[in-house]
Structure 1
Amino acid sequence: MSASALSVRDLRVRIGTREIVHGISFDVEREQTLGIVGESGSGKSMTVLAATGLLDAPGAAVTGTSTLAGGQGDVQLVGASDRVLRSVHGGRIGFVFQDPGTSLNPLLTLERQITESLEAHRRMTRRQANSRALELLEAVGLPDPETRLHAYPHQLSGGQKQRVMIAIAMACDPEVLIADEPTTALDVTTQAQIIELVRELQRDFGTAVVWISHDLGVIGQVADEVTVLQNGDPVEQAPVIDIFDRPQQPYTRELLQARPVVGASGPPPPPADAEAVLDVDGLDVRFDVRTPVGKSTVHAVKDLSFAIRRGTTLGLVGESGSGKSTVAAALTGLVKPDAGVATLDGDDVIGVRGSAEKSLRRRISLVFQDPFSTLNPRARVGTAINEPLRVHRVVDGKQARKARVDELLELVGLPTSFAQRYPHELSGGERQRVSIARALAGEPELLILDEATASLDVSVQARVLELLGALQREMGLTYLFIAHDLAVVQQVSHDVLVMRDGAAVEHRPAAELFAAPEHDYTRGLLAAVPPERPRVST
């Protein structure tokens, strides 16, 4: 019997007449993790979907071999029948995908979603499956597992949902676990917990893991061997320590250089006499929510005060649920605070109404995390950027607005021809540049960036961060940069405000905070950032 749990040879994927995966081969041994890394569009997910028999794209053709080996016999997955694939998926191969919110069935309890595979693949009775489901939720560290068995996905946080996905994937003790960007959408602290959880389960069950990621920092913490993909080609395959210490290919070196690491230099210092452009004092926001036991109140932001100096960046940091985005929503009129005062150059931000409110919306612009969902899919790029020019009457005349759209595209590093494209014709980084151009169209005094680089590849993220820095230096822009990743925040911020459960736990100049964090929570966030060196298995 082969020592490999999964062995792939000369895997090729063709969609129509175009080959998009070019002859990839790899092996994953038991208790070993193979990291597959590359940017979006490099073929990472396509390779693994094809190798496990999950690829079902119109016109797709897969050649090569992919052999699943184990005590239940070897199975050839490429070209296998639906019956064979159903017998191995969920049983011998477990899957954890990037977004647990779309992977979990919103209409079924956690208990039912875990017991499905146990009843189908292990022929357990309902009572046996329920008992095993409870054991799995305890194993993945879900709080109060007995109560959560009867909960629905919408009642869990993102990290908790991902733990449930891992419980489902590990339910039948699979020989291979496929983890496709399982931590990309999570906070750095939750990411660190998920990485450690998978390692513990791997040690306990002897599972082989294929971990897909665009971030070599994450891969360095999980992988024993690494395959680097670029445009469907395996450009480098080596042990993880060799990838980090002796990368052979320029593309691998580019990925290594692009990953954010704590300790990188921050932006140049602002003028010593820079005055505050935004002042916030005593901001307080509460939400009424309905629960199974009645109405409840969530205290999202608690007596928060801070200021942002003109031409500087304030990094607003915290885990999901800490209140970061609620602060942005309060400053842009999307939610009504219960208390507090905020002024922009002395003008009221919170209580403003009528024509003054419209003027204020021009002075404060917002860039969201997902540029695809914030751009109208039916509107061309030029139309999207032109809209604030027209609404706020920044430029008069159709030709003048078109010229300004071209200027804004060039400002964010895009060709003027992109004005005729639709959002789906752009990459993620290009879409985010369009979002930044649109935000700058109103010539704002304050630009709020709410996790604006969190969904991007690390190399694209690095280029967008460079763009933001260049725009700030050239135009004197002021940023409120909201993020959960302190390594990214250090690169762009002059000051840092750390939030937890709606309250400020630390607010200091960035250089001081990173040199000597005072609060345990800040130190925990810093410790959760993947280090520069890989973790070598012992």
Structure 2
Amino acid sequence: MTPVLSVQDLRVRLGRREIVRGISFDVEPDQTLGIVGESGSGKTVTALAATGLLDAPGAVVTGSSSLAAGGDSIELVGAKPRVLRSVHGGRIGFVFQDPGTSLNPLLTLERQITESLQAHRNLTRRSARQRALELLEAVGLPDAERRLDSYPHQLSGGQRQRVMVAIALACDPELLVADEPTTALDVTTQAQIVDLIKDLQRDFGAAVVWISHDLGLVGQVADTVTVLQDGVAVEQAPILDIFDRPAHAYTRELLDARPLIGAGGPPPAPADAPVLLDVDKLAVEFGGAPAVNEVTFQIRRGTTLGLVGESGSGKSTVAGALTGLVAPKSGTATLEGTDILGVRGAAEKALRRRISLVLQDPFAALDPRARVGSAIAEPLVVHRIRRGKHARTERVAELLELVGLPEEFASRYPHELSGGQRQRVSIARALAVEPELVILDEATASLDVSVQARVLDLLSDLQRELGLTYLFISHDLAVVERMSHDVLVLRDGAAVEYRPAADLLSAPEQEYTRTLLAAVPPARPRSG
């Protein structure tokens, strides 16, 4: 059987640095190849170079990448722009990580789907519109005919990704490249997109290259796997061999880093731990619509409450209300008897020192113009915790050491750090005010699974050493289990289930909680 895509000795050099080093693989018809590795391993560069899409200034691509199309073999490395234009969108479809930036915000869904149909299939406008409607129905977009005239901002993240899949499959391509297509999505939406692409692969007959940092996810979709580390394929094998008999230490590291249901949580908290945060019937509205509907919970000192739910469930709105970023409609919230919601003036400033917030995207949370040391020292200046430049510099060094970073990182800028290092800086900044409560709003969601595992270990160590109390917000129940003593499940702003973590995860009472649990990738692929 002739491979749909055959890549041999692919190399990519940027300047003096070779970032892809001699990678070879085949993608068979109707099969899925998973390409796995951490950020910077060369996954995306490999896929772009192999398909002729790499457009980095000064990049030199060598080796071979041939596409079997219509009985012919098309060499993509070094191909002329005319050849690549005939292939991209027609014979190779692409689904990228962020549909928000991949879709044109100025064009309707119909225009964006029919563009490739008119370019590669010469369909009339009427025929192209009918085909676009069929595609939106095939990817499960509700009210598909009305959605043809919608714009991307009118859709949710999961719906936008479904549109990206429709665009990629519009011309019945022989090869579909899915580059981290579910990373920015909830676990339930992720599971839906995985099932969607598998179903469409069966219906359309395309070969798939699925790129991800998460071996657990790849285990749900791939037949064979190529594991990349620093631009080198360190292991290539069928999916079950990768899970059952990993040959390389890096593969074993990726497997061990996966969050799994049933892996256990934190040590039990003291039975007599006092309540630190008491929230009663908290309600928030936006434009008259309820965002949080009378939610009640408590967090005991030195423990973690996991707040779980899909996007739009109200998790971040709760965090915003507790930190003064969102005005609640009603309800009460006290921190050891001190009112959080109604405090103003100097008392509010004093209260804000007791509660810190760590956000999902550390790059957006840090000022790109400020050095790491200045970012960490800013709360010290605002709250007048350390007087004098020398004292603040010493405290910054202490905080960097606390989160496992060298003192010299204080002179670096955020863009000089990895994602995991930036999140450690965000945690150090949050700890600068010596808070009693730390709110972690999807603080590990944007990280590689191996980096996520290290950050979770750091948070656990800090809780044990400093007696910190966490409100841990996430959509992933496997991550929540690892961190939480108690769990509160939100849906559409309302509390669905609220119990000790061990009880809730071992015997969920509500169907929605069971759905969230079922969306977590299993420890081993269900089939190879």
Checking the alignment, whether the CA contact within 8 Å between 1:313 and 1:481 is kept in structure 2 is yes
- Which residue of structure 2 lines up, in the alignment, with residue 148 of structure 1? 147
Are 1:52 and 2:43 matched, yes or no? Answer: no
In the alignment of these two chains, the number of paired residues is 528
- Which residue of structure 1 lines up, in the alignment, with residue 301 of structure 2? 310
Give unpaired runs (5+ residues) of structure 2: none
- Which residue of structure 1 lines up, in the alignment, with residue 159 of structure 2? 160
Output the amino acid matched with 1:411.
Answer: L
- Which residue of structure 2 lines up, in the alignment, with residue 115 of structure 1? 114
Shift of 1:141: 0.4
Match for residue 328 of structure 1 among 319, 331, 353: 319
Taking the TM superposition and a 5 Å limit, the aligned residue runs for 1:11-50 are 11-50=10-49
Output the amino acid matched with 1:5.
Answer: V
- Which residue of structure 2 lines up, in the alignment, with residue 520 of structure 1? 511
Checking the alignment, whether the CA contact within 8 Å between 1:411 and 1:437 is kept in structure 2 is yes
Taking the TM superposition and a 5 Å limit, the aligned residue runs for 1:32-181 are 32-71=31-70, 73-181=72-180
In structure 1, what is the Cα distance between the partners aligned to 2:289 and 2:144?
23
- Which residue of structure 2 lines up, in the alignment, with residue 271 of structure 1? 270
Taking the TM superposition and a 5 Å limit, the aligned residue runs for 1:338-377 are 338-377=329-368
Give unpaired runs (5+ residues) of structure 1: 289-296
Are 1:218 and 2:209 matched, yes or no? Answer: no
In structure 1, what is the Cα distance between the partners aligned to 2:73 and 2:195?
30
- Which residue of structure 2 lines up, in the alignment, with residue 461 of structure 1? 452
Checking the alignment, whether the CA contact within 8 Å between 1:216 and 1:256 is kept in structure 2 is yes
Q: Deviations over 1:16-69 (max 9, x none)?
A: 111110000000011100000000000000000000011010110000000010
Secondary structure at the counterpart of residue 404 of structure 1: helix
Match for residue 506 of structure 1 among 497, 506, 512: 497
Secondary structure at the counterpart of residue 327 of structure 1: helix
Secondary structure at the counterpart of residue 74 of structure 1: strand
Q: Deviations over 1:239-269 (max 9, x none)?
A: 0000000000000000000000100110001
Shift of 1:73: 2.3
RMSD after superposition: 0.7
Secondary structure at the counterpart of residue 303 of structure 1: strand
In structure 1, what is the Cα distance between the partners aligned to 2:6 and 2:405?
42
Shift of 1:535: 3.0
Are 1:250 and 2:246 matched, yes or no? Answer: no
Farther-moved stretch of structure 1 (351-360 vs 524-533): 351-360
Output the amino acid matched with 2:320.
Answer: A
Are 1:494 and 2:493 matched, yes or no? Answer: no
Shift of 1:72: 5.7
Secondary structure at the counterpart of residue 72 of structure 2: coil
Shift of 1:434: 0.2
Output the amino acid matched with 1:433.
Answer: R
- Which residue of structure 2 lines up, in the alignment, with residue 294 of structure 1? none
- Which residue of structure 2 lines up, in the alignment, with residue 191 of structure 1? 190
- Which residue of structure 1 lines up, in the alignment, with residue 432 of structure 2? 441
In structure 2, what is the Cα distance between the partners aligned to 1:59 and 1:357?
53
Q: Deviations over 1:316-345 (max 9, x none)?
A: 000000000000011111110111111111
- Which residue of structure 2 lines up, in the alignment, with residue 418 of structure 1? 409
Checking the alignment, whether the CA contact within 8 Å between 1:222 and 1:535 is kept in structure 2 is no
Checking the alignment, whether the CA contact within 8 Å between 1:448 and 1:479 is kept in structure 2 is yes
Secondary structure at the counterpart of residue 131 of structure 1: helix
Secondary structure at the counterpart of residue 35 of structure 2: strand
In structure 2, what is the Cα distance between the partners aligned to 1:298 and 1:109?
27
In structure 2, what is the Cα distance between the partners aligned to 1:339 and 1:85?
59
Checking the alignment, whether the CA contact within 8 Å between 1:95 and 1:178 is kept in structure 2 is yes
Shift of 1:70: 2.2
Output the amino acid matched with 1:504.
Answer: A
Shift of 1:359: 1.2
Farther-moved stretch of structure 1 (467-476 vs 70-79): 70-79
In structure 2, what is the Cα distance between the partners aligned to 1:501 and 1:146?
26
In structure 2, what is the Cα distance between the partners aligned to 1:89 and 1:359?
57
Output the amino acid matched with 2:42.
Answer: G
Checking the alignment, whether the CA contact within 8 Å between 1:380 and 1:421 is kept in structure 2 is yes
In structure 1, what is the Cα distance between the partners aligned to 2:390 and 2:63?
56
In structure 2, what is the Cα distance between the partners aligned to 1:71 and 1:20?
32
Shift of 1:298: 2.7
Output the amino acid matched with 1:122.
Answer: R
In structure 1, what is the Cα distance between the partners aligned to 2:71 and 2:433?
64
Output the amino acid matched with 1:273.
Answer: D
Secondary structure at the counterpart of residue 353 of structure 2: helix
Taking the TM superposition and a 5 Å limit, the aligned residue runs for 1:197-216 are 197-216=196-215
Shift of 1:133: 0.5
In structure 2, what is the Cα distance between the partners aligned to 1:154 and 1:362?
37
Secondary structure at the counterpart of residue 4 of structure 1: coil
Shift of 1:394: 1.2
TM-score of the superposition, structure 2-length normalised? 0.99
In structure 1, what is the Cα distance between the partners aligned to 2:303 and 2:121?
59
Runs of 4+ with deviation above 2 angstroms: none
Output the amino acid matched with 2:309.
Answer: G
In structure 2, what is the Cα distance between the partners aligned to 1:389 and 1:382?
11
Checking the alignment, whether the CA contact within 8 Å between 1:377 and 1:423 is kept in structure 2 is yes
Secondary structure at the counterpart of residue 272 of structure 1: coil
TM-score of the superposition, structure 1-length normalised? 0.97
In structure 2, what is the Cα distance between the partners aligned to 1:375 and 1:82?
40
Secondary structure at the counterpart of residue 69 of structure 2: coil
Secondary structure at the counterpart of residue 302 of structure 1: strand
Match for residue 532 of structure 1 among 489, 504, 523: 523
In structure 2, what is the Cα distance between the partners aligned to 1:97 and 1:360?
42
Checking the alignment, whether the CA contact within 8 Å between 1:300 and 1:502 is kept in structure 2 is yes
Checking the alignment, whether the CA contact within 8 Å between 1:7 and 1:68 is kept in structure 2 is yes
